[in-house]
Chain A
Amino acid sequence: MNALDLLLLTSLGTVLFSVVFSASLTGRMLLTMLYAVQTVILFQIDAGTEMVSSFGFEIFNHALGLSFNGLSWFFALITLGSAFFAAWYGLNQQQKLLHVGLSANVFSMLVLLSAGDFLSLFIAWELVSWSGVLLMVLGKQESLVATLKYITYAIAGGMAVFAGIILIYSWTGSLAFNAVTENPLSLSQYGTLAILLIGGFSVKMALLPFHLWQAEAYALTSGPASVFLGAISARMGLFAIVITMMHVVDLKTLDSIFLIPELFTFRDFLIWVAALSIILPTYTALRQNDARLLLAWHGIGQGGYMMLGLLMYDQMGSAGGLLHVFNYASCQAILFMSVFSILHRTGTTNLNQLGGLVARMPLSFLAMLVGIIGLAGLPPMNGFVSKWLVYRSLLSDGMAIVFLASVIGTLGTILSVYKLMHNSFLGQLRVEHEHVKEAPWSMTVPMMLLAIIIFITGVMPGISLELVANAQSAIGLTPVDYHLGGVVSANSAISGDLDMIWVVLVLFSGFGIAAILFLSAGKSRRVHQLDNYAGGHFLNANNQYQYSDNFYAGLMHIIKPWYRYSFKWFEGAVVSFVNLAAVFSRSFFNQAHMLIWMLVVVTTVMAVAII
């Protein structure tokens, strides 16, 4: 019984515990503590070495094993952390399915992370897909619709993965992770596997064009579930893609598969998919008027950065990609928490019907401020570090256009998170929200803790970079050269070290100067929002002096949503095609005379037999 066994058993025990006890508040508190316990157990596992679980099964002559390495450890930490904060955040949620679903998700993800061969990878993959459903159905009717869409997409991806694994088995005769590396295949076989496996896994990751399901499925459910799903769920796809690149088709192979001869390789294709996944969903997010959907669309966009970083597959790029998983998870979690505490208190997340809540919910505002700075990738929060690493890697690889694309994406992020904060917390407080109170402590405390984490890992990225370095060495890369404050550039051709402590110091000295200027200016008087006038008119409650309706209307005029419709059109075309086929097949059963088919089969077979 080693620590990994203990971790999995505790996780399974948590599932059982949640099934029985999640109805009471005490039970939910204990549940939260159980995630902390799991984290503690996780720390007993040495991230630097591979640990094999003593659990194993033999089914149909395939031995299934579980093992843990640095990469799994890294993802497991994020999973458990997200679950811990989500459970805390959901202490006052009565829905039993939420807590059961959360623990089931954590368990299945841990199994996925410790998968030791392709079969157990697929089994865990399907379990993760289906346990995600438990967390997605917690909202109103619309969440059920979104879940149906999700599960259709997810199973489509899962089946592609299934096909890939079956092909691996039939080509190599083994399901172990080293099956392909030990029996090299032909280039077309590699190409097939890459399409099936990476394509299948990227559905979960919501890379273009498989992204249409994600925003609704993640956003429209209950708060803690959104926090957890948004933070980590989609990243399981990233983990599986890393596994694929490690064990099936490495980037060198991908780079030798030409889609356009001598010009455009499979890897280039994936890079462009990642870049487009950054830009297009981000600008779709800009158009959203529901805070939850806005955040969820960002989740899709941010996945692109991680994918991009990994596709660089160098020291810096992959470190950036992996680090962004951690950073993004913390930012997305805190943003969802903030938005859902607004929903909890006001009953809406429609950005056109909110505003001015900063005075009523200051802690939630603070949390959102920290979150959007991190999400937009600005110092001093942690999102900056990972994006910097990815940019740096892109530049040093000479991919200027992709770099430009990702910068455009960041621009969209900044615009849209500003819209989010402006429309909800800043501006005019609505009359109906006059008596709104701050969210309860069970919501604010995890928000504050997360804010601290975001800030600390932003100032001292070395803490999280250590985990990333372990993960990197587990997948066979040279780990990034880090110190507490940042990274040291490996090759000195392009100089570019990063030390966040210095950056933050500079930044805060700037803030200090601004504060001195602000304080030295004249005193202002606090007034009620209606005790005010504009253009010579006194304002009353009916007057809108905050342009939260149609925010960015001018910008929207420029970026027409053609790209979004093109994907919707594609999806609709597939659906209509299937429906058309269904109508045809139904007509088979609608005929009054049905015996002719018997004759057709018999006659055809006879004809073929005689000829």
Chain B
Amino acid sequence: MKHYIILTVILPLLVAFLLPTIGRFSYFLARALPPIILIFSIVITACVYNNETAPFALHIGDFVAPQGIVFHVDSISLLMALSVQVFALFLWPRRSFKLQSEQIVSNKRYSLMLLLVASANGLAFSGDLFNLYVFYELLAVATFGLISFDTNEANQARFAAAFRYLVISATGSVMALLGIALVYFLTGTLNFAHLATQQANLFNPIGLSAFALLLVGFGVKAELFPVNSWVPEVYSAASKKLSGYLAGVISKLAVLVIIKALLFIFPHSEAAYLMLGLGLAGLLIGELSAMRSNDFTRMISWSSVAQLGLVFIAFSIPGQAGIIAGLAVLFHHMFVKTALFLIAEKWGGRISDLHGQGYLNLIMSGIFIFVALSLIGLPPLPGFWSKFLLLNGLAGQEYYFAIAIILITTVIEVNYLFRVANHLFSREDKPVLPINNHHWFDTLTASLIVVALIVAVWELPTINDQLIIMSDQLLDIESYVNRVLISTENGL
């Protein structure tokens, strides 16, 4: 069974390759195939998640590690892959109508979307630094293509946004490649398990520089502070569902890559301080920018920058407390931000134009308020518990400064999120004209997210146990190394 987990990466790729050709013969098949494949992957992932209690390593091509590439499958990577696929299914781009010729175009879109899913799955599983780089690049390229698609021809900004994103992302890749080169110089290996055994070689200024290069490189997708100026541009220009997918799910995989780098390459306090500082800066700058925003999409983009800053702050706490808090914040944000972008699908413009819309569309505005409350951290919603864990971890390390900044920015967050609510339920004497309603499927998805958050409140003990298991698995580097390098003792 467990060998088939690789199908979650391979099958989307296969279908993506064939999709343009299939689409020439049967448009229906081309439309139906990707969701089927996604459901199939979900089934596989869920089966593996259910059946395999212990993490395991998958040696691709049966080449022993560290020569071959290893997929390391544990709860966290399975959960990440599962969320990648499930969210992709729910946020799947709808058919764009009108022209016959657009069928080909939308096939290409589906194909890019599948590539995105495949690369994200690869990022979740891969245990090799350069392999991660390759998947990361695939993710980037697929993203550029998806961003620059829009049926609204008036939206010319998308090309400029995609290009600027490409420049910053490609520069990040160069930096990451340089970091990989430095790591290879020092250790002669790129397998994480093998790197973990070589940490003594890496604990020097060069190792720290390499980590900084990797952080900056992979941080581009993770919306890390100084390399996140693309965020508002891209999320404004791209389709909102795609933005939700990028902000909600894809950025988390980049975070996961950085966490792997932190744990296996440079698990020292200097790296943690770096992440803490950048996370705090991102948090402050994101929330402050969001506060001044007049545009709904841009507001939630900046809020996403801030939340990712929070994730970095959480992971910078050493030890299990940090991992648990980070995972909690990460998964919470995954749900919340996706829902917010689904709301932005139709309400993405100027906030002041939304006046009175809440009375016309009670469901969506209710979802907005619920999700905003969870984002702010109203107890007992999940957002509160993630913040509680985070602050507890920070207090344990005596990072009082960080606590103060997090709490102050929460106040700012309340202010701007409820400014939107005020506009939604405005009682000004202006005529309220209906804006297009959200598509029923988007409403359903957003409602499901709300249901998931409510269920999460009931299932808090279970979630806590799962978080502890995941953090144990992430932190248990010794058995990670044993699993991956098990059959290589004679080879070395």
Enumerate chain A interface residues (CB-CB to B < 8 A): 58-60, 122-123, 126-127, 130, 137, 140-141, 144-145, 147-148, 151-152, 155-156, 159-160, 162-163, 166-167, 169-170, 578-579, 581-586, 588-589, 591, 594-595, 597-598, 600-602, 605-606, 608-610
B153-191: CB near A (< 8 Å → 1, else 0) gives 000000000001001100110010000000000000000
Q: Are B427 and A140 in contact (CB under 8 A)?
A: yes
Q: Are A144 and B425 in contact (CB under 8 A)?
A: yes
Min CB–CB distance B460 → chain A (angstroms): 5
Binds A, one of B33-41, B46-54, B104-112, B414-422: B414-422
Residues of chain B within 8 A of A581, CB atoms compared: 284, 288
Min CB–CB distance B432 → chain A (angstroms): 13
CA distance A451 to B396 in the complex (A): 54
Q: Chain B residue with minimal CB distance to A169?
A: B392
Residues of chain B within 8 A of A591, CB atoms compared: 229
Q: Are A60 and B205 in contact (CB under 8 A)?
A: no
Q: Are B404 and A163 in contact (CB under 8 A)?
A: yes
Could you list 15 examples of A-B contacts with CB < 8 Å?
A141-B427, A152-B414, A159-B407, A159-B408, A159-B411, A163-B391, A579-B292, A595-B168, A598-B226, A601-B278, A602-B209, A602-B212, A605-B209, A605-B212, A605-B274
Given contacts A159-B410, A583-B292, A595-B168, 16 further A-B contacts (CB under 8 A): A58-B461, A60-B385, A126-B379, A126-B384, A137-B425, A141-B426, A151-B415, A151-B418, A155-B414, A163-B404, A579-B291, A589-B232, A591-B229, A600-B226, A602-B209, A602-B212
Residues of chain A within 8 A of B415, CB atoms compared: 148, 151-152
Tell me if B265 is interfacial: C-beta within 8 Å of chain A: no
Give the top 8 A-B pairs by smallest Cβ distance, nearest first: A597-B226, A170-B395, A609-B205, A605-B212, A159-B407, A123-B379, A585-B285, A609-B208
The B interface, classified by DSSP as helix, strand, loop or mixed, is: helix
CA distance A200 to B491 in the complex (A): 63
Q: Are B212 and A601 in contact (CB under 8 A)?
A: yes
B279-299: CB near A (< 8 Å → 1, else 0) gives 000001110110110000000
Min CB–CB distance B157 → chain A (angstroms): 14
CA distance A59 to B216 in the complex (A): 37
Q: Are A601 and B216 in contact (CB under 8 A)?
A: yes
Residues of chain A within 8 A of B285, CB atoms compared: 585, 588
Q: Are B411 and A145 in contact (CB under 8 A)?
A: no
Tell me if B477 is interfacial: C-beta within 8 Å of chain A: no
Tell me if B11 is interfacial: C-beta within 8 Å of chain A: no
| A123, A140, A595 pick with most chain B CB within 10 angstroms | A595
Residues of chain B within 8 A of A167, CB atoms compared: 395
Tell me if B373 is interfacial: C-beta within 8 Å of chain A: yes
What bracket does the count of chain B residues touching chain A fall in? Answer: 35 or more
CA distance A52 to B223 in the complex (A): 48
Tell me if B454 is interfacial: C-beta within 8 Å of chain A: no
Tell me if B376 is interfacial: C-beta within 8 Å of chain A: yes
CA distance A167 to B168 in the complex (A): 40
Q: Are A126 and B378 in contact (CB under 8 A)?
A: yes
Q: Are A160 and B389 in contact (CB under 8 A)?
A: no
Residues of chain B within 8 A of A166, CB atoms compared: 388, 391-392, 395, 403
Q: Are B422 and A170 in contact (CB under 8 A)?
A: no
CA distance A126 to B378 in the complex (A): 7
Tell me if B380 is interfacial: C-beta within 8 Å of chain A: yes
Cβ contact of B419, chosen from A148, A169, A600, cutoff 8 A: A148
Min CB–CB distance B385 → chain A (angstroms): 7
CA distance A115 to B176 in the complex (A): 51
Residues of chain B within 8 A of A58, CB atoms compared: 461
Tell me if B367 is interfacial: C-beta within 8 Å of chain A: no
Cβ contact of A59, chosen from B168, B414, B418, B461, cutoff 8 A: B461
Tell me if B140 is interfacial: C-beta within 8 Å of chain A: no
Min CB–CB distance B481 → chain A (angstroms): 26
Residues of chain B within 8 A of A610, CB atoms compared: 205
Q: Are A598 and B216 in contact (CB under 8 A)?
A: yes
Min CB–CB distance A355 → chain B (angstroms): 29
Interface residues of B in 202-231 (CB under 8 A from A): 205-206, 208-209, 212-213, 216, 226-227, 229-230
Q: Are B288 and A582 in contact (CB under 8 A)?
A: yes
| B168, B288, B398, B419 pick with most chain A CB within 10 angstroms | B288
Q: Are B213 and A602 in contact (CB under 8 A)?
A: yes
Min CB–CB distance B332 → chain A (angstroms): 14
Residues of chain A within 8 A of B410, CB atoms compared: 155, 159
Q: Are B422 and A148 in contact (CB under 8 A)?
A: yes
Residues of chain A within 8 A of B167, CB atoms compared: 595
Q: Are B379 and A127 in contact (CB under 8 A)?
A: yes
Tell me if B263 is interfacial: C-beta within 8 Å of chain A: no
Query: Known contacts A59-B460, A148-B415: does B208 contact A585 (CB below 8 Å)?
Result: no
| B376, B407, B461 pick with most chain A CB within 10 angstroms | B407
CA distance A148 to B379 in the complex (A): 19
CA distance A477 to B346 in the complex (A): 59
Tell me if B428 is interfacial: C-beta within 8 Å of chain A: yes
Q: Are B407 and A606 in contact (CB under 8 A)?
A: no
Residues of chain B within 8 A of A169, CB atoms compared: 392, 395
Tell me if B10 is interfacial: C-beta within 8 Å of chain A: no
Residues of chain A within 8 A of B212, CB atoms compared: 601-602, 605-606, 609
B396-408: CB near A (< 8 Å → 1, else 0) gives 1010000110011
CA distance A162 to B288 in the complex (A): 21
Query: Known contacts A583-B292, A598-B175: does B229 contact A155 (CB below 8 Å)?
Result: no
CA distance A140 to B422 in the complex (A): 12
Min CB–CB distance A136 → chain B (angstroms): 12
CA distance A602 to B175 in the complex (A): 9
Q: Chain A residue with minimal CB distance to B286?
A: A585
Residues of chain A within 8 A of B216, CB atoms compared: 598, 601-602
Min CB–CB distance B304 → chain A (angstroms): 13
Q: Are B288 and A170 in contact (CB under 8 A)?
A: no
Q: Are B380 and A123 in contact (CB under 8 A)?
A: yes
Tell me if B464 is interfacial: C-beta within 8 Å of chain A: yes
Residues of chain A within 8 A of B373, CB atoms compared: 130
Cβ contact of B403, chosen from A60, A163, A586, A595, cutoff 8 A: A163
Min CB–CB distance B8 → chain A (angstroms): 32
| A122, A126, A159 pick with most chain B CB within 10 angstroms | A159
Interface residues of B in 229-245 (CB under 8 A from A): 229-230, 232
CA distance A170 to B384 in the complex (A): 18
Q: Are B379 and A605 in contact (CB under 8 A)?
A: no
Residues of chain B within 8 A of A606, CB atoms compared: 205, 208-209, 212
Residues of chain A within 8 A of B278, CB atoms compared: 601
Residues of chain A within 8 A of B232, CB atoms compared: 589
Tell me if B138 is interfacial: C-beta within 8 Å of chain A: no
Q: Are B227 and A578 in contact (CB under 8 A)?
A: no
Min CB–CB distance B134 → chain A (angstroms): 21
Residues of chain A within 8 A of B460, CB atoms compared: 59-60
Q: Are B427 and A59 in contact (CB under 8 A)?
A: no
CA distance A163 to B409 in the complex (A): 13
Tell me if B412 is interfacial: C-beta within 8 Å of chain A: yes
Tell me if B478 is interfacial: C-beta within 8 Å of chain A: no
Residues of chain B within 8 A of A163, CB atoms compared: 391, 403-404, 407
Min CB–CB distance A105 → chain B (angstroms): 15
Q: Chain B residue with minimal CB distance to A596?
A: B226
Cβ contact of A578, chosen from B209, B291, B403, B404, cutoff 8 A: B291
Residues of chain A within 8 A of B229, CB atoms compared: 588-589, 591, 594, 597
| B230, B426, B427 pick with most chain A CB within 10 angstroms | B427
Min CB–CB distance A246 → chain B (angstroms): 22
CA distance A610 to B205 in the complex (A): 5
Cβ contact of B411, chosen from A60, A156, A586, cutoff 8 A: A156
